[in-house]
Structures are given as C-alpha cells and as structure tokens.
Amino acid sequence: RRVLIGTGFPVAGTFETDGPVGAMALYRALEQRGAQCWIACATPLAAELENEFRVMPLQATDRDAAREEATLRLAQVTPDAILSIERPGLAADGRYYNMRGEDISADCGIFDCYLELAECPTIAIGDGGNEIGMGKIAAAVAKLAITPAATSCDELLVADVSNWGAYGLLAYFDLLEATDHLGALRPRELLAFLSSRGSVDGVTRENTLTEDGMDPSAGETIISELRALTAAATREASA
C-alpha cells in the first residue's frame, strides 16, 4: 500500500508544530503495517524532514504548475490513499489565509491539487476551517469569522488540535488490528524533534514544545483516553 500524507502550515517564516507531529505518527504507524509512505510538504519543513522520512517536496506555487506537478507525481506513486493534516486549503478566491486573515499564499506549496486529482480515497484533518478538507462542510465554515478553505475531501476529521485527529486515526488502526500504536507514541519527542529544526507554536509563534498554545500533556491525555476506549471496545468484542 502507498499513502501520501500532506502537512505543514507556514507560520512566521517557518512551520508550526500542529500537523507534522500527527503526520510523523501516522507515517510510522502505517510503515509498521507494511505501507510505503511519503510526507508531502513545502520548504522549510521538507528540508528538515528529508533525512528521517520519505519526503515529497511541494515546489509549485501557482495553480497550473501545481496541477502539472500533482498529475506527474500521482502517476508515479499511484497512492492507495491521500491524507492531509493541517495543510492550508485554497479559499474561494484561490488564495491561502491564516486564522488572522493574513494572505500567506507566497509561503504555501500547493497540495490541494493532489486531493482534487486523486483516484483514491482522500482524508483530511483540520481544526480551524482554513485547512484542506473544510470545503466538505462549506456551509458550516462560512459562518466562522475567517476566510475558509474551499478544498474538499472524501472524509473529514475535525479536532480541537489537528495532531489529536491523527491520534484518533491511530486509535482506529489499533481497534481494527489489535495493535497499540498509541502506546508507542511519544508526542514530546516529536515536538522536540521539530523544535530543534525551527518549528513554532501556531498560536504563540514561539519555538516551544507546545501545539496551538497547549502543553503536550493535553495531547497525552487524549492519547490515554483513546487507549482506554479502544481497550474497552476490544474487551467488549471478545466477551
């Protein structure tokens, strides 16, 4: 199986911690299950991950070039699934915006075309309304005080923090296959890995071991709760 995972939201000239943590966790879990994965991301995140992960750099910054890039790479990789986690999504006007309403198009590689041209299932995870996939609930995000993303997907997972949405997918893997990927997950280590490579918190814009302004203990609590749920469901199924 081949899986393409898009991530990376540009903040203050670098990349934020929310998104890449979940992408790395999904990458490792899927590879352990025998899948071949790529993390699709733009500069500077691509350069910081390429020594540890199989990376697909998003180089195109205009729509036509991005469609050509996506068409070529999709033909080469032929993915069985495409995931997007905390990737900026194109708004209706064809631009990218952050939660502050600032136009960040110049800093964004384009991943939307990969989902639009996909011949496989597409899954997107987001938390604010301006990420790829939020076009799936266009009527809802139109009510928010933001410029929402218009790009849709097959299945949308909304979480308070996008990394936590990835943990939800890992819980589903664990439930289906009686594994414990969540138990092996160390979010603080992943945050430290990113911090040493220049990441910032997407809310505070500071280089800290936090995600969307929250201490990693909040994510660890989510992991513990998800593990408890999967354990209870497994016990019930075997009773």
Per-residue pLDDT at 120: 98
The token pair at 199 is 């990441």
Check: CB of residue 198 under 8 Å from CB of residue 44. yes
Per-residue pLDDT at 61: 86
pTM score, whole prediction: 0.96
**Mean pLDDT, residues 79-103:** 97
**Mean pLDDT, residues 36-57:** 98
DSSP characters over 79-144: -SEEEEES-B---TTS--B-TT--B-GGG----HHHHHT-SS-EEEEESSSSBTTGGGGHHHHTTS
Check: CB of residue 117 under 8 Å from CB of residue 67. yes
Decide if pLDDT at 192 tops 80: yes
Per-residue pLDDT at 172: 94
**Mean pLDDT, residues 182-209:** 97
Fold of 2-238: inorganic pyrophosphatase (n-terminal core) (3.90.1640)
Decide if pLDDT at 67 tops 80: yes
Say which DSSP state 103 is in. Answer: B
Alpha-carbon span 11 to 22, nearest angstrom: 17
The helix or strand, by DSSP H or E, that contains position 164, with its residue range, turns out to be helix 162-177
Per-residue pLDDT at 16: 98
Task: Report the chain's terminal Cα–Cα distance, integer Å.
Answer: 33
When pLDDT is cut at 50, 70 and 90, the band that residue 72 belongs to is very high
**Mean pLDDT, residues 45-53:** 97
Check: CB of residue 165 under 8 Å from CB of residue 132. no
CB atoms within 10 A of CB 22: 32
**Mean pLDDT, residues 35-53:** 98
Check: CB of residue 60 under 8 Å from CB of residue 109. yes
Query: What contacts 186, CB < 8 A, 6 or more positions away?
Result: none
What mean pLDDT, rounded, does the chain reach? Answer: 96
Decide if pLDDT at 239 tops 80: no
Per-residue pLDDT at 238: 76
**Mean pLDDT, residues 20-29:** 98
> Could you read off the pLDDT of 92-126 as tens digits, one per residue?
999 999 999 999 999 999 999 999 999 999 999 99
**Mean pLDDT, residues 89-93:** 98
**Mean pLDDT, residues 154-166:** 98
Q: Residue 44 — left, alpha, or beta (φ > 0 → left; ψ -120 to 50 → alpha)? A: alpha
- Cα atoms in the Cβ-side hemisphere of radius 13 Å centred on 27: 23
When pLDDT is cut at 50, 70 and 90, the band that residue 234 belongs to is confident
